[in-house]
A = this chain, B = another copy of it.
């Protein structure tokens, strides 16, 4: 087969997630292996518009597989949402002789890529890099496993002090629209209750659960709360609510925040990134475009980007049930 692709670019876009560097490395090295040129685009679509390109070879990505963040930097780019911005980006790619690109990011980044593809026909493959695990077409997004472990290690520490003082903690974790981190962390850290955007069982149930927990002799309680939970109260308001309605508890709050985005990626995320990077480049070389690489049943699969951004991976009902049983 004649391979029309001579030069491939890679960028990271949107919120960063652990494993992005490992994915960049995989893309760059697969290009080297396939003997095509590779360009790194810095600062996401902003860098694409400004032509912030650097040629990368296999050695350019030495010793980054275990680094958090992204060496290519990332940014959210308003200008790429405009036709003028995208035209500039296209001109820059053409001027640099770039035939196609791999974008590592979340649904916002994918939407931009898809529009750009439809407008200019530049083949693009997406790699889902986001800690939220909220992309349709993959059972795991890049960074989810690392973020989950960061959360669980943090709650393990909080439990030490919670147990020592017989306290109740509300721990806020990331997840505006989906509760994957919260639900999995709740199960893994042995939380008493987990509040997620996908279901709102009401504040009454929370009080009941906490009452039962105290009665059963538990010495401390952790309630994991996703940012986007549907009780209508944030963690500080939940604290007040419980203190008022259930004064048997000494309540504290912890907002884990941005530590969840950083850190050296776990083995799982590094392997996943490596596999996705290879698959992304190979797919472009096979003439595919406007698709996202995902992992389903431990296999690499491709999903149209337009489908990927349409919905979220559903929360696992079985895991909700496991969570309920474990808190007895």
Contact = CB atoms under 8 A, between A and B. Distances in A.
How many subunits of this chain does the assembly comprise? Answer: 4
Interface stretch (A57-65, A89-97, A119-127, A239-247): A57-65
B160 A69 contact: yes
B216 A68 contact: no
A277 to B, nearest CB: 8
A40 interface: no
Interface stretch (A1-9, A202-210, A256-264): A256-264
Given A68-B157, A266-B266, A217 B59 contact: yes
Interface of A: 12, 16, 18, 20, 25-26, 29-30, 32-33, 58-59, 62-63, 65-70, 73-75, 139, 145, 148-152, 154, 156-166, 169, 184-185, 187-190, 216-219, 252-259, 261-264, 266-268, 270-271, 274-275, 278, 296-300, 316, 318-319, 321-322, 325-326, 328
Given A216-B59, A271-B184, A160 B261 contact: yes
Most chain B C-beta atoms within 10 Å of own C-beta, residue among A18, A30, A161, A266: A161
A186 to B, nearest CB: 10
A102 to B, nearest CB: 15
A274 B187 contact: yes
Nearest to A12: B164
